[in-house]
A and B are shown apart, each in its own frame.
Chain A
Amino acid sequence: MKFKRNTYEMNAEPDMTPMIDMTFQLIAFFMVLLNFGESEVDARIKLPSSQLAKPADTPLEAPVVLQLTDDDKVIFSGEPMPISELDRPLRNEKKFIELSGGKVADATVILRADGSAKTGIVQQVIQKCQDNGFERFALRAKQELEEDR
């Protein structure tokens, strides 16, 4: 049996369109999911979980985020420091709030403390904030599903 052989040169260019479609869709997906606001969330902190921890309906206005690691360091603006050095940045925050026309007592301090951190240290951090006039605190916890309990 004889097969006819194609003698002409074939133009074998792959069709790029479906691949580019998919790639753009992937880019759009990751772009939408990218949350720059999460930059304040430090991966070293393992938050305690609570079934009552539900995200707030309205985001807090200009909160001060303090993160407490399990080795008694406070992370403020991405910089770890011992609790004794917390006064200076808190004073700066207080000045900034007062200069922008707000009241320190109305500002909220979000406290993201590690689940293994000592309660006494957490209370010390709260006390430092109270010394600088802060009154409102939001103790942060991660959401716990009912099945986890």
Chain B
Amino acid sequence: MKFRHTTSSGPEKVEMQMTPMIDIVFQLLTFFLFSFKIAAIEGDFNVRMPVAGPGTPDAESQLPIKVRLAADAEGNLASIHLADRALPNFRALHEQVMNIVGSDAGPNAAASSAEAELDCDYNLKYQNVIKAITAISGQVTPDGHIVKLIQKIKFAPPKKPD
């Protein structure tokens, strides 16, 4: 049997088929591109609230700090009271808390045992609660470190609207 020998004039160029690979690669790229979203960094305020906790004084706590947040009809913050004393803003609340539990050098021993109770109106917007917790629970030093103040935070029982 004879095979015909192909006589080519030069070396044959074998080309790789790029098209299917590029198709798939672009599909992958589009998938990752669309599933990409920029998420803000999130953090937690850890609060321990046993069932009997709200409303009942803790035997260990030395300084019960009562913060009252009142809301207007729209749910915006109307007033801040720290133990019957009206405060203009959260910065003032933070300064008052600093006077009670801390100094410029940092929180004193009272901070670890102090407890704060938040008494909020039912329709108050939640962001005000977070602002109050921020003012009570710590501060950020200019070099970016967090100094913890009061860590024991609890809520007064919710007030049902009439």
Contact = CB atoms under 8 A, between A and B. Distances in A.
Interface string B19-42: 001100110110011011101111
Contacts of B32: 26-27, 30-31, 34
A18 interface: no
A53 B42 contact: yes
A141 B130 contact: yes
Interface in A52-69: 52-56, 68
Contact of B126 (A24, A41, A119, A136): A119
B51 A141 contact: no
B-side binding surface: helix, strand, loop or mixed? mixed
Contact of A120 (B29, B146, B158): B158
Interface residues of A, number: 53
B126 A53 contact: no
Contacts, number: 166
B50 to A, nearest CB: 5
A6 to B, nearest CB: 20
Interface stretch (B3-11, B60-68, B95-103, B117-125): B117-125
Interface residues of B, number: 53
Contacts of A49: 127, 130
B93 interface: no
B142 to A, nearest CB: 9
Contacts of B42: 47, 53, 55, 140-143
Given A52-B45, A126-B155, A143-B42, A27 B29 contact: yes
A116 interface: yes
Interface of A: 16, 19-20, 23-24, 26-27, 30-31, 33-35, 38, 41, 47-56, 68, 105, 108, 110, 113-120, 122-124, 126-127, 130-131, 135-143, 146
